Amino acid sequence: MFEAVEELLVEHADLETRLADPSVHADQANARKLAKRYAELTPITRVYRAWRQAGEDIEAARELAAEDPEFIAEVKDSEARREELTEELRLLLVPRDPSDDKDVILEIKAGEGGEESALFAGDLLRMYLRFAERIGWKTEIIDSNESDLGGYKDVSVAVKTKGSATEPGQGVWARLKYEGGVHRVQRVPATESQGRIHTSAAGVLVTPEAEEVEVEIVANDLRIDVYRSSGPGGQSVNTTDSAVRITHLPTGIVASCQNEKSQLQNKEQAMRILRSRLLAAAQEEAEREASDARRSQVRTVDRSERIRTYNYPENRISDHRTGFKSYNLDQVLDGDLNAVIQSCVDADAAAKLAAAQQN
C-alpha cells in the first residue's frame, strides 16, 4: 500500500509544478483536470507525511524511553496516533467514484397506490428540497406532472452546489446517489375514510448531471416530438405545442419536459435530462462488463427495489440496506437526512475497504 503512496507523492509534486506554470492555464479544460487531480491527491499526501512523521516520533520516543521510563507513555501515544493515520490513509486510498463531484438530476415517480402514492412523491420532493436547503445546494424543478390532489405523478429536479468547485468527493452525487430505489410509506392516507393504514411506494432515480462534452449525441439519433402541456401552468397550457419529448433512437431512452413556456426552453431542459440518463446508462453498461471485483469497488451498497420504509404511525424510518433505524421520521421529512445517508456512506466505504484489502 505504502509503495503506491510514494508514487502518488511524486505525481502530486509534478502536478504542483505544472499548475504553477502560467502556460498550462491557457488550456482551461486541461488546467481544471490537473487541478482536480491535484485536489484529490492533496489529502493523501498530507496524511502520508503525517504518518511518516508519526513513525519518526515513535523511534525518538523509544530511544528516550530506553533511558527514562517516563517516556513510555509518549511511545504509546505516538503508536496510537500512527494507527489512526494508517486507518485514515487506507480509507483515502479506497477507489473513488469518479462522479462524486458531480451535480445530479433527481427524479421522483409515483408508484402503486394512486393518489396516495402521488402525495407521498410530493412529500419526498419536499424532503429533498429541504435537505438541499440545509446543505446549501441550489435546486431547480425541471419538469413536473402534478396529480389532482396536489401530489406529483412525476417530477424532475436538478440539484447542484452553489460554488463553481467542490472539495473532492463533496459533490451532490457523493451524498444523493444512495437515494435511488423504491421508497415505501406506511400511513393512513388522506383519501382513507376508515382510518386504515395503507402501504404505497414511490420510485426515486438519481443520475449525475452530464456535461455536453461527456456524452456525444448525434442529431440524427434523436426523434423530437412536440405536444400540448397538461396540468397547472397558466395560459400556455393546452393552447400551444410547447411540451417536448426527445427519444434517443439507438437506446430508446426518452426525456420530456413541459414546465417552461416556450418550446425551445423545454427542449433545452429535456436535453439536460437525456444527457444525464445516457451518461448513467453508459456507466451501468461499463460496470456490467467489469469484473466482480471492479463492480464491488464501484457500487457496493445495494440499490435494489425497496431501499427504505417511512412508517408514520411509529414515526420510524428504516433503511433496509444498512439496517439504519430511527424514530424521528418527522424531522427526516423536514430535511434532516444526514444520519440516514451517512449510514449508506459508511457501509459503502467499509465494503470498498474490505474489497481493496482482498485484492
Q: Are residues 19 and 55 in the same domain?
A: yes
What pLDDT does residue 294 have?
35
273 compared with 259, residue with greater pLDDT? 273
- What one-character DSSP code corresponds to residue 190? T
Work out whether strand 325-326 and strand 222-227 pair parallel, antiparallel, or are unpaired: unpaired
Could you tell me the residue range of the domain that residue 123 belongs to?
Answer: 102-209+301-359
Q: Are residues 280 and 238 in the same domain?
A: yes
CATH, residue 20: 1.20.58
Domain boundary among 29, 60, 92: 92
Lowest average pLDDT, out of 17-26, 171-180, 209-218, 233-242, goes to 233-242
Asked if residue 149 is part of any domain, the answer here is yes
Q: Which residues contact 259 (CB under 8 A, 6 or more apart)?
A: 141, 142, 143, 144, 233, 266, 269
Phi/psi at 186 (5° precision): -125, 115
pTM higher than 0.85: no
Residue 164 has pLDDT above 80, yes or no: no
Q: Are residues 176 and 320 in the same domain?
A: yes
Distances (CA, A) of 294 to 91, 97, 100, 180, 287: 17, 12, 17, 21, 8
Q: Are residues 249 and 355 in the same domain?
A: no
Distance of CA 176 to the CA centre of its chain: 4
Asked if residue 294 is part of any domain, the answer here is no
CB count, 10 Å around CB of 18? 15
Phi/psi at 119 (5° precision): -65, -40
Work out whether strand 306-311 and strand 181-187 pair parallel, antiparallel, or are unpaired: parallel
How many CA atoms are closer than 13 Å to the CA of 158, on its beta-carbon side?
A: 21
**Degrees, nearest 5: CA angle 278-283-289:** 125
96 compared with 272, residue with greater pLDDT? 272
Q: Are residues 108 and 177 in the same domain?
A: yes
Q: Are residues 77 and 141 in the same domain?
A: no
Burial of 72 (0-12, 13-18, 19+ CB in 10 A): middle
Q: Are residues 134 and 171 in the same domain?
A: yes
Q: For the chain, what is the domain count?
A: 3
Q: Are residues 311 and 350 in the same domain?
A: yes
Q: pLDDT above 70 covers what percent of the chain?
A: 86
Asked if residue 11 is part of any domain, the answer here is yes
**pLDDT tens readout for residues 267-296:** 989 998 998 899 888 877 766 654 443 333
Q: Are residues 192 and 330 in the same domain?
A: yes
